């Protein structure tokens, strides 16, 4: 017995996923196609997997990037390439630590006190291992073919050793250094941040800040001579958005060439005369017009003071104008004299200049706090201004704010140990902020000119979402600024999708790059492999475990170490078992004391390496380079990557760190092609977050809808780099519309193929092909050509849309629908065989084209089809080659002609819908008015399709409208008549409305019409009127840019009868389907009529006249017209134009009682 194709009762994508997953595991589909760790088979297409952070469960947004990566890898595999795709996991860093601290109920300050560093790191390791299991499950469920068995994880000793090697190479090339600089610092996270972390999406948040204009009192004897004759005190007006930094002020910055004014006015509180200095350009922003007005001399200034309280406005007089450079090195009194710099105090509290001073806001005078501002710090170094550092109890100089974001102890006036930002309080919410309290204090001291509310964007920590501070840190840096030009140049070799992401956004980021802060004051991560003496005069950078082993041996000789922590480690043994013996984390390495060349003890620098360096090092560390697999990098076997893809935010994250490290150390790009994906938002366009309650569990999503539907929805809905508004309801649409249609085509095919025993054993016979066959083959090969191009150019969205259009509009709604009768034929003719072969080919090709996007469903389709025909010798569709298009089968003229036919039919359907005429109701005549003779000839050749689809008896192709009867309507165009004729417009309008058909045709023909109104000659132009055409006698007309169709809507009795029969056949077929009768089973039909005598008689006559035709079409043995409605649950009600109702039921022949 020959094999038959599998048939299914309904589409169930979730069940298909389970079945295919088991099939893949049973036949080891991935393993058999991905033995890339076999060195004899070097891959020709390389994916670098951006290691996701194991800081918790995967989110719905991770489906996007993993789907994109999987699609492109599957495509290139089908193109005959050996694909390298190794999974990787980012196990370190702040995100993991914050989750662990939350889970066990501690803060960073508890580590080393309530819990040891070793215990804490073990908690972190256990946490990421638990997350890893969920991520592996997620990866399997979403269908991401990636090597999980040979994956890398960043906490692994081999991985860390490779990072050490990179750090040492940077050190040897003089590309890293240690220094005090102002860096972004997160008190909530307890660590410094790099500038790329500071520029993650959403880190800058809009805040409203109280911003005072402060009065710094000048020391007059330090001012230039021109100021010494000014009577009264002089105040420099400076504006700040960070009042908490004022105790740390040590300078004021003017603009070197900015114009300043010394203004005499009256204090708004005391009404006493005072002198203030600020930028001339900002005079109206400081002396608000609503409160101040200008006077021209001292007399007016003194006179008007009497009227201040009455007028509520204060006069001011400009006394001096000068440039900022004229006042350099002048001094002022300390605003808040609570602390003094521990050294170099004599240089504090003086005027300097800075190119960062602008006159767009503020006062043109910038308050300088070198311990809390980057520009401030740089300017202070230039002018030898001291930092506001004080000696603590250990005699160590420290800033006035500690690492937790609090003022230090011994702060006066109740400010001691208060947080400088309210957001840093964890257990209580302060009513007044430190900023407010400082402003209130300064107001009492009469040191504030005025205060305003200022809205601006302030940086926040990317993980804690709490404010950062710019803080003086002693950190290790990578000299990325030194190779900025190289990075910019190498970026031009990378192909970005979309293009502007690389040419604009990434290029801009590189041009504005700053040195990379490597240091992180945390516990769970890769330790910086640098040991230094206490004085910092000697240091050693360790680049391997072997090197560290020998350094420990030296230390043992000097008595700094009693034993070698790595004594069980076998040098030069690269086995995983050997490396698993050791742990290279902080709690181990901090025990190691090395010895300097001068015999001094050296302790490890306590910080960890930025976790972004971990991920940026993955091209090398994943192979344990250079200790193993050296040829992978040095011979460019697995470097650089052909493709990477992550979210757009990684421009300043992973994309940058990959590029920076490869540029610094290998003078190379790290990747050739990159797709930056957009954000996944909720259906209202909001960012998904737990606090908003709009997150979606990806596991539930996959279980409910199947990965294929989600993958197809994500790819189809928007291009990868665009933001996606995720709407679950649209997944239902995808399932029903695309997958449902493809499933129905398959079901249709196997239903009749199994009846006829088709298994593709016959040879293809082009002589039996009809025009529709050549057309669908042309469209299929065009589809192959275009999808291949779009896949190759990293645009799977256009692929999905092309395939969807082909399946829905061309294959299902056109080819299969128009060819149904070929499959229904009882005889197994050559023509019928050709139809089977072509539909089979379409199904298998479509399955292959969608397989990168919908790997489970395509596999099911392919296996079910190929298991019968054995056309391919592959167990999986993912082993097959990407289809090749046959240019000889592509016929653009035929495609264009069929597109025109489809357009004509669509317009016919539109007219029918508008006039409430069913498609099954035949109409008499269709006119297609088209001027192009060639197209008219082509359409006449395919008129059989037009007859069938338009459901008309006659089709004509006139070249003009003469064959249509019509009437013209005219009305005034007031837009033109009004301006021409003014008050006479109404009279003229009444005359126009009375024009007969001849007059309307005359004005159309001559473009004007002349008549007299009394003695006045009126000349109407065509623009003065609006003319419309109404086609009469039952015709409806529809226009297109290239042609016009006219449809005769008049329905004769004979046409109505034919429509009635067709509608009856449709309902009988529907009943057969609803009762789940086999397509070859014979039936009896029972009909009764509810209506008057005429309706019953009419129905009887129609049934008698068309009985044989109806029976043949529906496989009915007989049709019985019953006088009365029988009470059967299975009866179907059919309404005919509200005239009468048919009641119908069917029975299989075998069910009839004898």
Q: What is the CATH number of the domain that holds 1069?
A: 3.30.2320
Half-sphere exposure of 801 (CA within 13 A, CB side): 11
* 444 and 299 in a common domain: yes
Residue 618 dihedral angles phi and psi, to the nearest 5°:
-60, -30
Maximum alpha-carbon separation in the chain: 130
Question: Three-class SS of residue 160?
Answer: helix
Residues 239 and 361 in one domain: yes
- φ and ψ at 238, to 5 degrees? -125, 145
- Residue 1120: helix, strand or coil by DSSP? strand
Q: Is residue 513 part of a domain?
A: no
Phi (first) and psi of residue 570, to 5 degrees:
-90, 115
Please measure the distance between the N-terminal and C-terminal CA atoms of the chain and give it in whole angstroms.
Answer: 34
CA-to-CA distance for 158 and 545, rounded, in angstroms? 9
How far from 1154 is each of 1072, 1094, 1128, 1145, 1149, CA to CA, in Å?
A: 22, 34, 19, 18, 10
What are the phi and psi torsion angles at 1018 (to 5°)?
Answer: -110, 125
pLDDT at 881: 94
Q: How many DSSP H helices and E strands does the chain contain?
A: 39, 42
Q: Report the distance separating Cα 630 and Cα 746, nearest Å.
A: 50
What count of other Cβ atoms lies within 10 Å of the Cβ of residue 169? Answer: 18
Please tell me the chain's helix, strand, coil percentages from 3-state DSSP, rounded to the nearest 5: 45, 20, 35
Separation CA 85–CA 48 (nearest Å)? 7
DSSP 639-686: -SEEEEEEEGGGGGTHHHHHHHHHHHHHSS-SEEEEEEE--EEETTSP
CB atoms near residue 423 (< 10 Å) = 19
Q: Is residue 891 part of a domain?
A: no
* Residue 158 maps to a domain: no
SS (H, E, C) 164-181: HHHHHHHHHCCCEEEEEE
- Phi, psi (rounded to 5 degrees) for 306: -65, -25
Pairing type for strands 1116-1122 and 1083-1090 reads parallel
Q: Before 640, cis peptide (omega within 30)?
A: yes
Q: State both tokens at 306.
A: 């009497």
Q: Which domain holds residue 1113?
A: 1053-1151
Does residue 290 sit in the same domain as residue 218?
yes
Instruction: Tell whether 488 is covered by a domain.
Output: no
Distances, alpha carbon 414 to alpha carbons 401, 419, 421, 552, in Å: 15, 12, 16, 50
In a domain, 573, yes or no: yes
Q: What is the CA radius of gyration of the chain?
A: 41
Q: Are 325 and 353 in contact (CB under 8 A)?
A: yes
CA-wise closest residue to 86 among 75, 73, 68: 73
CA distance 553 to 564: 7
d(CA 687, CA 806): 34
How many whole angstroms separate alpha carbon 526 and alpha carbon 121? 12
Burial group, residue 505, by CB count within 10 angstroms (0-12, 13-18, 19+) = middle
Contact 449, 282 (CB under 8 A): no
Number of structural domains (the chain) is: 5
For residue 617, give the 3-state DSSP assignment. coil
**446 in the same domain as 309:** yes
In this structure, the answer to whether residues 978 and 958 fall within a common structural domain is no
Both structure tokens of 604: 């490890």
Task: State whether the Cα torsion 148-153-156-160 is positive or negative.
Answer: positive
- Determine the pLDDT at residue 1: 41
Angle at 857 between CA 720 and CA 50, to 5 degrees: 35
- What CATH code is carried by the domain that includes residue 291? 3.90.740.10
What is the phi/psi pair of residue 1009, to 5°? -150, 135
Q: Flag whether 244 is in a domain.
A: yes
Cβ neighbors of 967 (< 8 A, separation 6 or more) are 997, 1029, 1030, 1032
> Phi and psi dihedrals of 83, rounded to 5?
-100, 130
CB 993 within 8 A of CB 1020: no
Residue showing tokens 């040419």: 503
Task: Give the pLDDT confidence score for residue 867 in this predicted structure.
Answer: 93
Beta bridge partners of 1145: 1086
Judgement on whether residues 941 and 1074 belong to the same structural domain of the protein: no
CATH number at residue 1021: 3.30.720.200
Does 918 share its domain with 1009? no
- C-alpha distances (whole Å) from 47 to each of 71, 162, 1152 are 11, 20, 66
Closest CA to 1121 of 1099, 1151, 1152: 1099
CA distances from 494 to 76, 603, 797, 1010 (A): 19, 42, 21, 71
Residue 910 lies in a domain: yes
**Helix ranges, 813-923 (H):** 817-824, 830-850, 855-869, 892-914
The span from the CA of 711 to the CA of 141, in Å, is 11
Same domain as 365, residue 294: yes
pTM value is 0.82
| Cα–Cα distance for residue pair 453/698, rounded to 1 Å | 43
Alpha helices in 771-816 (DSSP H): 771-792, 796-805
Phi (first) and psi of residue 293, to 5 degrees = -145, 150
Residues contacting residue 314 through CB under 8 Å, at least 6 positions apart: 265, 266, 268, 291, 292, 293, 308
Specify whether 243 is located in the same domain as 352: yes
| pLDDT score of 693 | 78
Length of the chain: 1154
- Token pair in block for residue 828: 């197994």
CA separation for the pair 469, 692 (Å, rounded): 27
- Torsions phi, psi of 885, nearest 5? -85, 150
Contact 45, 643 (CB under 8 A): yes
CA distance 1126 to 1135: 17
CA distances from 980 to 973, 987, 999, 1015, 1022 (A): 11, 13, 21, 17, 14
- Three-class SS of residue 451? strand
In this structure, the answer to whether residues 1134 and 1084 fall within a common structural domain is yes
Q: Where among 1013, 1048, 1083 does a domain terminate?
A: 1048
Asked if residue 1077 and residue 1026 are part of one domain, the reply reads no
Tell me which residue of 747, 740, 591 sits closest to 1073, measured CA to CA.
747
Which of the residues in the chain have pLDDT under 50? 1, 35-39, 1153-1154
Domain boundary among 422, 454, 486: 454
Closest CA to 1042 of 1131, 930, 1138: 930
Distance CA 268, CA 292 (A): 10
Contact between 843 and 746 (Cβ < 8 Å): yes
Tokens 């114009």 sit at which residue?
A: 259
Residue 984 lies in a domain: yes
Chosen domain end from 606, 634, 652: 606
Tokens encoding 1135: 């309404």
Same domain, 1044 and 1068: no
Could you count the other beta carbons within 10 Å of the beta carbon of residue 173? 12
């Amino acid at each position: 017995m020959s094999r038959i194709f599998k048939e299914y009762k309904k589409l169930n994508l979730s069940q298909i996923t389970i079945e295919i997953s088991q099939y893949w595991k049973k036949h080891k589909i991935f393993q058999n196609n991905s033995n890339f760790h076999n060195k004899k088979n070097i891959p020709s297409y390389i994916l670098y997997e951006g290691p996701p952070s194991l800081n918790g469960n995967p989110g719905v947004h991770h489906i996007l990037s993993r789907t994109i990566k999987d699609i492109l890898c599957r495509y290139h595999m089908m193109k005959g390439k050996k694909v390298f795709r190794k999974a990787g996991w980012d196990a370190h860093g702040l995100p993991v630590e914050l989750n662990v601290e939350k889970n066990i109920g501690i803060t960073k300050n508890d580590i080393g006190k309530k819990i040891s560093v070793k215990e804490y790191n073990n908690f972190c390791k256990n946490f990421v291992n638990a997350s890893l299991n969920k991520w592996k499950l997620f990866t399997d469920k979403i269908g991401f073919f990636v090597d999980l068995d040979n994956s890398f994880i960043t906490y692994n000793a081999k991985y860390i050793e490779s990072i050490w090697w990179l750090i040492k190479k940077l050190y040897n090339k003089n590309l890293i250094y240690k220094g005090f600089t102002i860096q972004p610092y997160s008190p909530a996270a307890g660590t410094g941040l790099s500038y790329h972390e500071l520029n993650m999406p959403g880190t800058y948040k809009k805040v409203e800040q109280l911003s005072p204009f402060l009065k710094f009192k000048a020391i007059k004897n330090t001012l230039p001579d021109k100021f010494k004759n000014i009577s009264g005190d002089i105040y420099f007006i400076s504006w700040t958005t960070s009042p908490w930094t004022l105790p740390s002020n040590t300078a004021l910055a003017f603009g070197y060439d900015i114009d300043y004014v010394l203004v005499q006015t009256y204090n708004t509180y005391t009404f006493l005369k005072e002198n203030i200095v600020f930028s001339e350009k900002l005079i109206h922003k400081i002396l608000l017009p609503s409160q101040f007005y200008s006077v021209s001399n001292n007399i007016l200034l003194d006179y008007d003071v009497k009227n201040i309280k009455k007028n509520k406005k204060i006069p001011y007089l400009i006394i001096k104008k000068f440039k900022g450079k004229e006042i350099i090195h002048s001094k002022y009194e300390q605003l808040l004299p609570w602390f003094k710099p521990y050294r170099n105090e004599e240089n504090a509290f003086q005027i300097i200049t800075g190119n960062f001073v602008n006159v767009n806001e503020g006062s043109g005078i910038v308050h300088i706090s070198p311990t809390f501002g980057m520009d401030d710090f740089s300017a202070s170094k230039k002018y030898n201004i001291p930092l506001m550092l004080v000696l603590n109890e250990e005699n160590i100089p420290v800033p006035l704010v500690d690492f937790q974001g609090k003022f230090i102890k011994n702060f006066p006036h109740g400010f001691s140990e208060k947080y400088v930002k309210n957001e840093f309080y964890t257990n209580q919410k302060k009513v007044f902020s430190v900023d407010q309290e400082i402003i209130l204090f300064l107001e009492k001291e009469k040191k504030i000119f005025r205060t305003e509310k200022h809205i601006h964007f302030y940086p926040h920590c990317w993980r804690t979402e709490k404010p950062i501070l710019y803080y003086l840190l002693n950190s290790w840096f990578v000299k990325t600024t030194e190779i900025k030009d190289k990075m910019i140049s190498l970026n031009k070799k990378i192909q970005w999708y979309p293009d502007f992401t690389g040419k604009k956004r990434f290029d801009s980021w590189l041009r504005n790059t700053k040195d990379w802060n490597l240091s992180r004051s945390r516990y769970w991560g890769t330790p910086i492999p640098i040991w230094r003496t206490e004085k910092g005069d000697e240091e050693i950078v360790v680049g391997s475990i072997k090197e560290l082993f020998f350094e420990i041996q030296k230390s043992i000789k000097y008595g700094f170490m009693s034993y070698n922590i790595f004594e069980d480690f076998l040098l030069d043994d690269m086995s995983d078992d050997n490396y698993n013996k050791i742990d290279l984390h902080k709690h181990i390495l901090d025990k190691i004391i090395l010895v300097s060349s001068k015999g001094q003890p050296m302790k490890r620098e306590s910080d960890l390496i930025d976790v972004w360096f971990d991920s940026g090092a993955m091209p090398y560390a994943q192979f344990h380079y250079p200790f193993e697999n050296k040829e992978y990098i040095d011979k460019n076997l697995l470097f650089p990557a052909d493709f990477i893809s992550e979210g757009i935010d990684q421009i300043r994250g992973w994309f940058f760190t990959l590029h920076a490290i490869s540029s610094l150390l290998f003078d190379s790009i790290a990747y050739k092609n990159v797709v930056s994906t957009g954000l996944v938002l909720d259906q209202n366009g909001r960012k998904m977050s737990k606090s908003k309650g709009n997150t979606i569990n990806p596991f539930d999503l996959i279980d409910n809808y199947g990965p294929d539907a989600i993958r197809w929805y994500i790819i189809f809905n928007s291009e990868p780099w665009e933001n996606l508004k995720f709407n679950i309801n649209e997944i239902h649409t995808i399932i029903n519309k695309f997958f449902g249609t493809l499933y129905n085509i398959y079901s249709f095919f196997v239903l009749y193929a199994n009846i006829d025993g088709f298994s593709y054993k016959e040879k293809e016979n082009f002589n039996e092909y009809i025009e529709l066959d050549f057309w669908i083959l042309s469209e299929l090969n065009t589809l192959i050509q275009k999808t291949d191009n779009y896949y190759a150019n990293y645009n799977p969205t256009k692929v999905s849309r092309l395939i969807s259009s082909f399946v829905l509009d061309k294959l299902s709604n056109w080819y299969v629908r128009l060819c149904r009768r070929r499959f229904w034929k009882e005889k197994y003719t050559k023509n019928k065989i050709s139809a089977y072969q072509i539909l089979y080919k379409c199904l298998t090709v479509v399955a292959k084209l969608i397989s990168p996007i919908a790997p489970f469903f395509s596999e099911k389709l392919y296996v079910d089809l190929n298991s019968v025909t054995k056309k391919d010798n592959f167990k999986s569709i993912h082993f097959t080659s990407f289809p090749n298009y046959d240019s000889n089968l592509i016929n653009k003229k035929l495609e264009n002609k069929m597109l025109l036919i489809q357009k004509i039919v669509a317009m016919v359907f539109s007219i029918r819908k508008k006039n409430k005429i069913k498609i099954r109701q035949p109409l008499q005549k269709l006119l297609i008015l088209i001027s192009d003779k060639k197209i008219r000839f082509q359409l006449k050749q395919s008129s059989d399709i037009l007859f069938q689809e338009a459901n008309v008896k006659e089709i004509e192709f006139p070249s003009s409208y003469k064959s249509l009867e019509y009437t013209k309507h005219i009305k005034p165009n007031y837009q033109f008549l009004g301006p021409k004729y003014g008050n006479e417009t109404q009279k003229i309008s009444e005359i126009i409305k009375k024009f007969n058909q001849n007059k309307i045709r005359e004005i159309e023909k001559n473009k004007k019409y002349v008549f007299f109104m009394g003695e006045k000659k009126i000349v109407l132009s065509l623009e003065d009127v609006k003319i419309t055409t109404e086609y009469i006698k039952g015709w409806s007309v529809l226009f297109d840019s290239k042609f016009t169709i006219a449809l005769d809507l008049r329905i004769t009795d004979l046409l109505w009868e034919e429509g009635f029969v067709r509608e009856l056949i449709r309902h009988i077929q529907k009943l057969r389907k609803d009762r789940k009768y086999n397509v070859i089973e014979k039936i009896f039909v029972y009909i009764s009529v509810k209506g008057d005598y005429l309706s019953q008689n009419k129905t009887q006559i129609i049934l008698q006249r068309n009985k044989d035709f109806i029976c043949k079409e529906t496989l009915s043995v007989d049709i019985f017209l019953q006088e009365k409605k029988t009470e059967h649950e299975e009866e179907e009600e059919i309404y005919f134009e509200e005239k009468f109702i048919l009641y119908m039921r069917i029975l299989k022949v075998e069910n009839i009682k004898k």
